[in-house]
Amino acid sequence: MVTVRAYRDEDREDIDRLRRLVFRSSTGVLSGGWRGLVGELDRETAGFLRIWDYRQFFGGVAVPTGGVASVAVYPHARGRGVAGALLSESLRVMREAGQVIAALYPYVLPLYRRHGWEHVGTVEWATVPLVNLAATPRAPLPVRPATPADLPDLHACYLRTAATVDGMLDRAEPGSDHASVFGADLVTVAPGPEGLRGYLTADRPDDARLVVKDLVADDVEAAHVLLRQLASWAGLLTEAEVRVFDAALLDHLVPGALTRGAEVHRFMLRVVDLPAAVAARGWPAVAHMKPFSVDIEVTDPTAPWNTGRWRLGHDGSSAFCEPGGTGEVHLHARALGPWFAGSTTAHSLRRAGLLSGRPTAALLDALTGAPHPVRLSNTF
């Protein structure tokens, strides 16, 4: 029988060994901002996962999120329900901690889908030939290397973009270490009258490319001056691999060819606590719609507190999810993540077999503005 308990300091050596075996890495086991769970068989360690303390932007509001990571099971214990027990307990732990949604990067899709997670978005990288940036317009803005005194403004600049892109983390501490930005080979800022108008961070891993982790700009002039910083490497290097935040920044401003989707990592989301998640999210579309409600019925075996009938809608000022209704639209637990994120429509969920019932389900799309891209810019 599998038992699950909280991670303890004395588990460190055993969990290090397990993570080295499964992931060939033990980096970050003792860094802050997470809680761990240990699965045991016959009182011996069989598996592990950790839950990062994150917040993801949806509708302009940072929603408390559990970042589920490092899900690992010893080979001899696989197929005995260890991973499933860890995931089930993680949902209870996250709910108690007020983490109303949960995100993860999947290795084994069937496992996570059985427990209610579904694809909603991506981390995407674009490849930009540096020679193609030579025609970028010049902008009358200074740039300089960042200093530790810039850390608050770097984070504030990031947040101004992140808050407008559903799925992005708010990178709050302790889940994120702001000072770690100076581990990059290049941290360049574009100062403004108050704070920063933009910045970029990049590594030079070899003689061919720059790997640009953050390229963030408040306006077109800041974007141009940062793109010209990348262009200055042409001749020494051939290309930049740029992590995509706001795709329009590259699609509309790079004055030459680029390759979107050069590298893509898909992430999954699930709703941990449905009414609490609805209360925590931002709903910008509500201000432009007449009040309405949709009666839904949810089936969620792993998080039974979500199971049942709910009336979901808005009253003219805010969205709500309250017990009751006729259950005219049925949603599987796996449908809740894509719906909440706005990454797909009710019609698509119906075709995938995750939603059924009356056509009023389409009203659910109006709340989230679905479909639209959902992005992360961090892996965990």
125-265 to CATH, choices 3.30.930.10, 3.40.50.1110, 3.40.50.850, 3.40.630.30: 3.40.630.30
Pairs from 153-159 (Cβ < 8 Å, separation ≥ 24):
153/189, 153/195, 153/196, 154/178, 154/181, 154/189, 154/196, 154/199, 156/195, 156/196, 157/195, 157/196, 157/197, 157/198, 157/199, 157/216, 157/218, 158/214, 158/216
Cβ-Cβ contacts under 8 Å for 198 (sequence gap 6 or more): 157, 189, 190, 216, 217, 218, 219, 222, 223, 225, 226
> Which among 376, 371, 373, 369 has a CA at the least distance from the CA of 59?
369
Per-residue model confidence (pLDDT) at position 8 = 96
CATH placement of domain 275-368:
3.30.1050.10
- CATH topology classification for 2-116: Aminopeptidase (3.40.630)
On the question of pLDDT at 29 being above 60, the answer is no
Per-residue model confidence (pLDDT) at position 366 = 92
> Which among 133, 266, 110 has a CA at the least distance from the CA of 200?
133
| Mean pLDDT, rounded, of the chain | 95
Cα torsion 297, 303, 304, 308 to 10°: value is -10
Least confident of 49-63, 133-147, 301-315, 348-362: 348-362
> Which among 206, 207, 208, 204 has a CA at the least distance from the CA of 238?
208
Residues 247, 100: Cα–Cα separation, whole Å? 28
Assign residue 204 a region: left if phi > 0, alpha if psi is -120 to 50, beta otherwise?
beta
Least confident of 2-6, 20-24, 188-192: 20-24
On the question of pLDDT at 30 being above 70, the answer is no
Assign residue 121 a region: left if phi > 0, alpha if psi is -120 to 50, beta otherwise?
beta
CA 248 to chain centre: 19
On the question of pLDDT at 74 being above 80, the answer is yes
Per-residue model confidence (pLDDT) at position 360 = 80
Over residues 343-360, the pLDDT tens digits come to 999 999 999 999 999 888
Per-residue model confidence (pLDDT) at position 27 = 52
Where are the domains positioned within the chain?
2-116, 125-265, 275-368
What φ, ψ does residue 97 adopt, rounded to 5°?
Answer: -85, 0
Over residues 160-214, the pLDDT tens digits come to 999 999 999 999 999 999 999 999 999 999 999 999 999 999 999 999 999 999 9
Is the distance from CB of 40 to CB of 5 less than 8 angstroms?
Answer: yes
Is the distance from CB of 265 to CB of 379 less than 8 angstroms?
Answer: yes
% of the chain exceeding 90 in pLDDT: 91
Per-residue pLDDT, averaged over 55-72, amounts to 98
Over residues 206-236, the pLDDT tens digits come to 999 999 999 999 999 999 999 999 999 999 9
Per-residue model confidence (pLDDT) at position 262 = 87
Measured over the CA atoms of residue 315, residue 318, residue 322 and residue 326, the dihedral's sign is positive
Per-residue model confidence (pLDDT) at position 362 = 83
> Which among 304, 243, 242, 248 has a CA at the least distance from the CA of 272?
304
Residues 194, 192: Cα–Cα separation, whole Å? 5
Per-residue model confidence (pLDDT) at position 26 = 56
Per-residue model confidence (pLDDT) at position 316 = 87
DSSP letter, residue 189: E
Q: Which helix (H) or strand (E) holds 14?
A: helix 12-23
Q: Please, which pLDDT band fits residue 253 given cuts at 50, 70 and 90? A: very high
* Topology agreement, domain 2-116 and domain 125-265: yes
Say what the pTM is: 0.95
Per-residue pLDDT, averaged over 156-163, amounts to 98
Measured over the CA atoms of residue 110, residue 115, residue 117 and residue 123, the dihedral's sign is negative
Over residues 241-251, the pLDDT tens digits come to 999 998 988 99
SS3 303: coil
